[in-house]
């Protein structure tokens, strides 16, 4: 498999434990790699502390600059194509497939939507992100002016998602205001989920169709806030976790048995609609992307059901 060009990560040491070594700090702070793997990276000269190459046992101090020059690696195979929905001098709208990460992370660098888009549009800057398993519309700015304006007015951008959830919803529509914040996760330490101590979050869920045979509901969800994994958490919080969600179960909390990881897919969530005022002309714009093949299997969705 092809090897990517590698990547250099820069990190400022924060709140180390008393006497904590470079290796121990890295294993605690970045648990995606084991302590043994971090020790190998340090001994291979991939890690520097300040201007020097440390030993694995060298203590760290708050404020030290740690640099990891990760060598090239083979990335997991994912769908790399995307559909171009809209292009002008200021904005780019694309339709991302499920399975393709939006941004680098979790072992992905070039196998990301950002990298693929920037091969054709080097100035493109993503204004938001979708989870790896989520398909649908992603908005990019092509100028610093557009990026600045839309970042300031992002709460005014209209975003609608379609989601396939467990159970048959009784209410045709409801507002969801469950707070979202970090909670304990058996594999990751912490993860965002429903939490009374979390930040306020607002979603509005509307039933589009029901699958009586498989006991599923197709929701249209509009976002009032943009918390991590908000739709997955909020639908789970009202007793309708997404079908196939590897993380969240009823109540909006991580599964206790066989908990999954954020990058794992298997669920059906699609960013169907974006609406905004164009940053240059102030003209109202709307883009819609149909769900991928198989997304609506089992649902009898009439043409008018997708609109309020």
Q: What is the pLDDT of residues 233-277, one digit of tens each?
A: 999 999 999 999 988 999 999 887 766 665 566 899 999 999 999
Which is it for strands 284-288 and 173-176: parallel, antiparallel or unpaired? unpaired
Q: What is the pLDDT of residues 109-154, one digit of tens each?
A: 899 999 999 999 999 999 999 999 999 999 999 999 999 999 999 9
Residue 138: predicted pLDDT? 98
Domains, the chain, in order of start with CATH, read: 7-70 (3.10.290.10), 83-306 (3.30.2350.10)
How far apart CA 20 and CA 26 sit, in angstroms, is 10
Of the ranges 24-33, 149-158, 221-230, 243-252, which one carries the lowest mean pLDDT score? 24-33
Residue 305: predicted pLDDT? 54
Which own/partner pairs from 203-207 qualify as long-range (CB within 8 Å, at least 24 positions apart)? 203/175, 203/176, 203/230, 203/231, 203/234, 204/173, 204/174, 204/175, 204/176, 205/169, 205/173, 205/174, 205/175, 205/176, 205/234, 205/235, 205/238, 206/172, 206/173, 206/308, 207/169, 207/171, 207/172, 207/173
How far apart CA 109 and CA 272 sit, in angstroms, is 26
Enumerate the β-bridge partners of residue 199.
180
Q: What is the pLDDT of residues 33-72, one digit of tens each?
A: 889 999 999 999 999 998 899 999 999 999 999 999 988 8
* Average pLDDT score over the chain: 91
The DSSP-derived string for 167-183 is: S--SSSEEEE---EEEE
| pTM, full prediction | 0.84
- Buried b / exposed e over 73-104, threshold 16 CB at 10 Å, is eebeebeeebeebeeeebbbbbbbbbbbbbeb
């Amino acid at each position: 498999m092809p090897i990517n060009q590698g990547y250099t990560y820069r990190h400022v040491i924060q709140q180390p434990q008393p006497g904590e070594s470079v290796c121990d700090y890295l294993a605690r702070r970045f648990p995606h790699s084991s302590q043994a793997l971090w020790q190998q990276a340090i001994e291979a000269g991939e890690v520097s502390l300040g201007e020097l190459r440390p030993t694995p046992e060298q203590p760290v101090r708050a404020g030290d600059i740690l640099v990891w020059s990760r060598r090239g690696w083979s990335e997991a195979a994912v769908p790399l194509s995307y559909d171009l929905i809209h292009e002008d001098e200021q904005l780019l709208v694309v339709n991302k497939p499920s399975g393709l990460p939006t941004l680098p992370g979790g072992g992905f660098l070039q196998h990301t939507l950002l990298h693929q888009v920037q091969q054709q549009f080097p100035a493109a800057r993503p204004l938001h992100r979708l989870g790896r398993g989520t398909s649908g519309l992603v908005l990019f700015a092509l100028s610093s002016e557009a990026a600045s304006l839309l970042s300031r007015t992002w709460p005014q951008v209209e975003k609608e998602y379609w989601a396939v959830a467990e159970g048959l919803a009784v209410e045709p529509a409801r507002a969801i205001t469950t707070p979202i914040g970090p909670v304990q996760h058996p594999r990751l330490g912490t993860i965002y989920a429903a939490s009374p101590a979390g930040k306020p979050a607002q979603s509005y869920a509307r039933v589009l169709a029901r699958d009586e045979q498989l006991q599923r509901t197709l929701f249209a969800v509009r976002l009032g806030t943009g918390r991590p994994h908000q739709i997955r958490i909020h639908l789970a919080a009202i007793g309708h976790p997404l079908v196939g969600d590897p993380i969240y179960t009823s109540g909006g909390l991580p599964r206790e048995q066989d908990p999954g990881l954020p990058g794992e897919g298997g669920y059906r969530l699609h960013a169907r609609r974006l609406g905004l005022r164009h940053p240059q002309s102030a003209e109202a714009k709307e883009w819609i992307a149909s769900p991928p093949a198989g997304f609506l299997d089992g649902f009898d969705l009439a043409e008018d059901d997708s609109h309020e």
